[in-house]
Every structure is written in C-alpha cells, then in structure tokens.
Structure 1
C-alpha cells in the first residue's frame, strides 16, 4: 500500500467517522415547527403539546412559529422552500396536504414531491350537529327531512375540511343541502346557536361545550369509530356506511432532508405521543393518537387525496 493510498483510506475513514458523528448529534440546535394557522386552534394546540415533549426527547428546543393564511398554504409553502436540514418542519393537516392542493388554482407547492413525511400524529373528529329546534334526532331523520324541505348547513368557510365533510355527506346521502360558508367556526356556531342556520359541520373540540350544554344536538361524529369523549354520539357511518372524514395533524420536513434527521424526528414524535401525559391532553379534545412512521404517513396522504378529489370535483370547489 502506497503512502498516497494510505492517506486516501485514512481520509475516507475520517470523513465517514465525522459524518456518523454529525448524524448521531442531530439536532445540534433549535428546531422551528411551523404551524400554518393562527394561535389557539386545535392544530396549534397539538403542535405546542408535541413540540414541548419532543424538545425533551431531542435535547434541543422546538419553537412553534404560527404562519397563518390561505388555508394553511402560506405556512406549508414556507416549509417546502426551507433548507432541507431537519431544522424547519411543518405541522400539516388535511387542508395543507389534501384539500388545498386539489382546490387552489395556483399551486404553491406539491404535497408529495416537496415534502418528506415524518409522522401522522393524531386524528381529530368532526361532528354533524343541529339546532335543537330542528325536529330531527338522528342522521337518518335529517336525511329524510332534507328530502322533504330545503335545508342549509354552516361551515367555517369555503374549501375547509368542514365544508367538504358536508359535501361528502350530501353526495353519499343523496340529498341537497345548501352550504353557508363563514369566516371561521366561531361565527358559524353563533348563527347555528341562534337558529339562523339549522345545521353545522364543525370540529368536535370547538362544538363540544355546546353539545354538553344542550345548545346543540349532535347527530353523528365523522370518524369511523365513536369519539371516546362522547361515546353516546353515533358515527355518521352507522347510517351511511363508508362515510369518514376527520381533521388530522402530521409532521413533515422539506424534501431532501437527510434520512438520519427524519428518523430522529420520527422516533422523538412517536416517543412523545406514547407519553401518558400527552395522551391525556389529546384525549381532552377527542384526538386519536396514531404516531405512525414516515411510510404510513406517505400512504395516508395519497389515500386522502384520492378520497377528496372526486368530492372537490363534484362540488366544483375552487379557490384562487
């Protein structure tokens, strides 16, 4: 072996050793978790709970940055364009990774090509509820009434998961119910509580207090299984087999992020979600913990886009 060959081999070994050390040390500094909605919503709450526990696991602080606007697209676009080093990650939802890419005429990012999946964290149920003055007590009674007289439902806005939950319901039930969009769940709930609009599709966490007080009558949750926090509320699928919608939260990094960073983040996320204290917090708003790996999340995104594409198309929902 020549001196030059020895130097090359020694240099290669040193480089590999340094690379391994760098990989083992991820993260070496603060991580930014972009929440693509305003502070205070369910996605922000999930993000802050997870960030706090993952920070403990990783030994570096994860700082939540709220980047609201365009139904979550602004924050998602920011992460898609960030350095692919694992230090900027996204708290994604069904809006950022299924609905917006289908609805927006201008595509600011590709939900598959521009992101590296980390973990599907939780599923959060939506709920179909009515003002108690509407003479229905079950999903089937609502379907029957909708076939007899004009009805309308409220949602938090055009193109939102709640709007599309209503459109999927109409399609599967074979009924026509007018959609009344609002600028958020708050004003939508106000009008349904005041009986200006008789029906609402809402996130279960934001409607739960009104359901418990009797100001709203819940007819069905939108998940495949009943919500643990409201076990007496049937699923819509018990009347319309196969019906299933929900809000979900998942972690993504920019495409091209090193595999060792993805693995470290995924392990930390799964460990965080396995913490009984975190599970207790999630149960407070009926979130079902999934804590998947990257491959399962990638498959979930493909399945969600396939499910929602015909609903968006048939409802003719588009946004600039």
Structure 2
C-alpha cells in the first residue's frame, strides 16, 4: 500500500468533492426533497388541498414533498421567500389570488412583484368562498342579515384571514349598503374561532376551512360568493341572488421563482395535471371544498395577468384603501 503525502491527500479529497458535486448537479430532476411553501397556516383550505396534491406529486417524482407554512402579512412573507429562492425547482409556491391578484392593490409596500418574480407552473382549481355567521345571529338568509345590519348600524362585524375575505366583506358592505366593522386576522382558522365564539359576527371563508364547522352546527352558512351556484354546495344560494353584482372566486396554483428552467416547468406541469385530472383525486379535493382542474403554464400565466386587472377593479369598487 502506498501512503500519500498530506498535499496529495488534500488534492484527492478536493477532486472527490468536486466530482460528487458535479454528479449531483447533473443528476436528473428531482434528486432531493421539494419544499412547497404556503402563504397560509396549517388547517386553511390551501393547506388541506396542498397536502393531498403534494403527496401525490412526491410519489410521481420519486421524492418527498415538504409543506412549509409561512403565514402572515397577507401572504407576503411566503411570496418574498419563494421569490428569493433558487429557481431550481426545489422551492415551489402554492398560492392563491391573495398574493398574486389582490395584494398589489391592498398593500402600500410590496416586497415582491407577482409577475416578474415568479414562474407560473400550473393552476389547480378554484376554492369557492361562502358567507358564514355565528349561529346565535337570528338570520337564515343574506336578506335577513342585511335587515339586521340596517336595523342596528355598526353592531355587526366581519372577520378576514385572506385577501378574498377582506374584499368579499368590503364588497358586501358596499353593495348591501350596511355598516360593518372589519376585524382582520393573520389566517382563517383563528378568525373562524372568534366567529364561532361570537366575538365576531360573520366571515367569508373558503369552503374547506368553513364546511366542517357548518356541518358541526358551530357556524351557519348563508351563501356562496360565486355568481353561479357551486357544484360542491348546490343547496346554498349565491350572494348575487340578494346582492346583485356580487361575484368573487378564489383560485389556487403552483408557481416557482423567476427564471426556472423550461424542462423543469414542463415536467412539474405534466405531473400536477395528471394528479388533478385523476377521478379519485378530483373526488377527494371536492370533499375538501376545491373544484379541481388545470392547464398548461402559458394558460396559467395569461390567467394571472387577467386576474390582476379584475382584482384591481374589485378592490377599487369596494373602496378599500391600501394599508
């Protein structure tokens, strides 16, 4: 056996590390865990649906997916984190209209650009919202609730844990001509806790977060926010039935940091679309309150830009000032 001198051992070690690093860099994507960053807390609608899709995505890609909930600042904390991550496909953003449609018109200072800082990968569907109230409030319809609010201006309040909830509440107050107090929260679960406890009167909430409490009689659901009745909740009327012109939908999708390699985007899009289009997954997502569908990255990109225009109109019409 030949003993190597110390300089030779160092050169050999350096060469070995370089070769290992090069081999890792050339390994086909993906070859390690993928982190899915969410702008909302555990238990939110985005969280419950992402855990299902994310698990299947990991199986399809042969790696583990890790959920990283970064709630706060209307999703800006999570969005900024992803925007500053390496565009290598290992840090993805599962988000909604909160960060990519509404925030530019709700926040005075933006720590990210919703278009320039991200790569659209795939839309995964819509998360319809519904109006829920504390069951002690003597109202069984939106019309009843409006009548109560008009009878006692300033008595009733609405909680919000997302931009969709903020805009829905303000739009309701404006179109219905009622005086409601806005009580903001970092995310939907703690907001719902206070509605259930009676500390806040009502809330517009995504179906997967609110429905279990409605089923358990802890909350009363009055209407869905979409202009058409939801296939997920066919028994609920629309807000537009009573408050004409009310039509708000929350979407969900996957994005990465800007400048992601095209081949990685294509691979992720293909796998996500396969998952979302599976009948068993569609059914499970429906149970979680999500209307699942998808499409190519280019379609999602165009949709994102259209939504920015739409939400600017919604927020301006609602008279919401930037915070």
Determine if the TM-score, normalized by the shorter chain, exceeds 0.5.
Answer: yes
Aligned to 1:152: 156
Matched, 1:95 2:87: no
8 Å Cα contact 1:153/1:180 also seen in 2: yes
Q: Secondary structure at the match of 1:147?
A: helix
Aligned to 1:7: none
Aligned to 2:226: 223
Aligned to 1:293: 296
Higher alpha-carbon deviation: 95-104 or 307-316: 307-316
Aligned to 1:315: 319
Per-residue CA deviation, residues 70-104 of structure 1 (Å, 9 max, x unaligned), is 22212211211222232321111121112222222
Task: Find the partner of 1:232 among 208, 232, 235.
Answer: 235
Tell me: CA distance 1:182–1:265, structure 2 relative to 1, closer, same or farther (3 Å): closer
Instruction: Give the Å deviation of 1:260.
Output: 1.6
8 Å Cα contact 1:71/1:96 also seen in 2: yes
Matched residue pairs, number? 297
Higher alpha-carbon deviation: 241-250 or 229-238: 241-250
Instruction: Give the Å deviation of 1:118.
Output: 0.9
Per-residue CA deviation, residues 265-307 of structure 1 (Å, 9 max, x unaligned), is 1111100112233223211222100212222222322232222
Tell me: CA distance 1:238–1:90, structure 2 relative to 1, closer, same or farther (3 Å): same
Q: Secondary structure at the match of 2:250?
A: strand
Instruction: Give the Å deviation of 1:24.
Output: 11
8 Å Cα contact 1:273/1:279 also seen in 2: yes
Q: Secondary structure at the match of 2:119?
A: strand
Instruction: Give the Å deviation of 1:196.
Output: 4.1
Q: What is the distance in 2 between the residues matched to 1:26 and 1:186?
A: 36
Q: What is the distance in 1 between the residues matched to 2:86 and 2:234?
A: 44
Matched, 1:30 2:33: yes
Higher alpha-carbon deviation: 309-318 or 124-133: 309-318
Matched, 1:80 2:62: no
Task: Find the partner of 1:114 among 107, 112, 117.
Answer: 117
CA RMSD across the alignment: 2.7
Tell me: CA distance 1:267–1:101, structure 2 relative to 1, closer, same or farther (3 Å): same
Give runs of aligned pairs for residues 268-283 of structure 1, distance below 5 A. Answer: 268-283=271-286
Q: What is the distance in 2 between the residues matched to 1:59 and 1:183?
A: 34
Q: Secondary structure at the match of 2:85?
A: coil
Instruction: Give the Å deviation of 1:184.
Output: 4.1
TM-score, structure 1 normalization: 0.81
- Runs of 4+ aligned structure 1 residues displaced above 4 Å come to 22-25
Instruction: Give the Å deviation of 1:197.
Output: 3.6
Instruction: Give the Å deviation of 1:29.
Output: 4.1
Task: Find the partner of 1:181 among 179, 184, 191.
Answer: 184
Aligned to 2:47: 44
Q: Secondary structure at the match of 1:68?
A: coil
Q: Secondary structure at the match of 1:76?
A: helix
Q: What is the distance in 2 between the residues matched to 1:155 and 1:173?
A: 17
Q: What is the distance in 2 between the residues matched to 1:194 and 1:82?
A: 40
